[in-house]
Copies of this chain bind each other. A is one copy, B any other.
Amino acid sequence: VSGRNFASDNWAPVHPRVMEALERANVSDAHAYGYDPYTERLRERVQDLFGGAAEPFPVFNGTGANVLCLDVLTRPYDGVICTDVAHIAVDECGAPEKIAGCKLFTIPNEEGKLRAARVRSEPRLLENVGNEHRAQPTVLSLTQATELGTVYTEQELAELRSLALEHGLAVHVDGARFANALAAHGMSPAASVEAAGARALSFGGTKNGLMFGELAIFFDEEGAARARYLRKQNLQLASKMRYISAQFLAVFEDDLWLEMAKHANDMAALLAARLSDQEPIYIPYPVETNAVFATMPHDVIADLRASWDFYVWDQASGTVRLMTSFATMPAQIDAFARDVARRVRQRRIT
């Protein structure tokens, strides 16, 4: 696998400074379940980054963070508006429906994004409000960066925020790759959350250099009060929580988290640049973070998969997804681009 992975940023190892932090945290007994000094410091650090109202709840994984956020924000008859490619809709095996107990209203994405205008024009959706026969639209869940690697602009977030205010929707941000989005558009964490008017954020760690651990962050007291119980009930309360908190503290030090994300983004940009002039390969979406989608002939895909790891996103069109991470090296990009070039060349000949 090593040096051949464009499959996912969660195939990457743990950043050395995170490993060091884990060792440093491993000196003696500590209170379990988050009543330890690491978790206390993490809370302060998150409030530095996101504002004093932010209450972080360390959890185990991204699905855990998403489901906790949605569970806090919904009652059983509530529904969550998201795109048709949202992780919560597609890749979580029905966990939001089962555990948060909410219905998902999926809207066709535009370059991975939920757009306010599409939500407004969706039949049988906002008109459901007050109709007891229908699940009540209550939450807007957007993914920043999106599943397609794009990043919502401040303007797009403002439009969604307005929509949410107008219809009494709570905003959830699935930020499994929030760091990559910040590294891309340069907003501060607090400003980014504010722009979306988010009440809850799934803040990713595992895909950005951690061994395990994400944060569900709530921006009001009511949410945080519910989250205490729901985190436990949803199987996300780590007993030795210091080992999650210490990892986040390590990446928050000297902005390592943003540096790692920027590196991953840069590698994706490099990869896109190296593929963009290789006809007939086509890059269907803007490359803004650490994902490059590329549409290729099926035989080229088949050839490449013999020696490289990546996902075929859409079999019909021949679109593959190539992810980079903090650990991706330029040499790997080079090798891959050369492989692609050779195959494209061979194709022209035959």
Determine if A94 and B123 form an interchain contact, defined as CB atoms under 8 angstroms apart: no
Docked Cα-Cα span, A44 to B64, in Å, equals 29
**Residues of B close to A4: CB separation below 8 A:** 29
Interface residues on A, range: 35 or more
Interface segment among A132-140, A154-162, A259-267, A276-284: the answer is A132-140
Greatest chain B CB density within 10 A among A11, A102, A206 is at: A11
Residue among A14, A62, A211, A243 with the most chain B CB within 10 A?
Answer: A211
With A98-B101, A243-B14 as known contacts, state yes or no: A232 contacts B93, CB within 8 Å: yes
Question: Could you mark each residue 207-242 of chain A with 1 if its beta carbon is under 8 Å from any beta carbon of chain B, else 0?
Answer: 100011000000000000010111111111111100
Query: Is A76 within 8 A of B211, CB to CB?
Result: no
Contact A76 B233 (CB under 8 A): yes
A212 vs B236: C-alpha distance in the bound complex, in angstroms? 12
Contact flag A95-B127 (CB < 8 Å), given A2-B29, A327-B29: no
In chain A, residues 59-85, which have Cβ atoms closer than 8 Å to a Cβ of chain B? 60-64, 67, 71, 75-77, 79
Contact pattern, A 4-37, Cβ under 8 Å of B = 1, otherwise 0: 1101101111100001001100111111110000
> Residues of B contacting A62 with CB < 8 Å?
239
Structural contact, A32 and B11, CB atoms closer than 8 A = yes
Cβ of B239 and Cβ of A10 under 8 Å apart? yes
Chain multiplicity (copies) = 4
Chain B residue at smallest Cβ distance from A1: B29
CB of A288 closer than 8 Å to a CB of B: no
A97 within 8 A of B: yes
A156 CB, nearest partner CB in chain B, Å: 24
Q: Tell me, in angstroms, the Cα distance from A113 to B236 when the chains sit together.
A: 28
- A307 sits at the interface (CB 8 A): no
Contact indicator B13/A32 (Cβ below 8 Å): no
A327 to B14, CA, bound (A): 26
How far, in angstroms, from A261 to B64 measured CA to CA in the complex?
A: 31
| Contact assessment for A132 and B11 in the assembled complex, using a CB-CB cutoff below 8 Å | no
Task: Given contacts A19-B23, A93-B232, list 11 more A-B pairs with CB under 8 A.
Answer: A1-B30, A2-B29, A5-B29, A8-B239, A11-B29, A75-B229, A76-B101, A77-B233, A92-B133, A92-B232, A235-B235
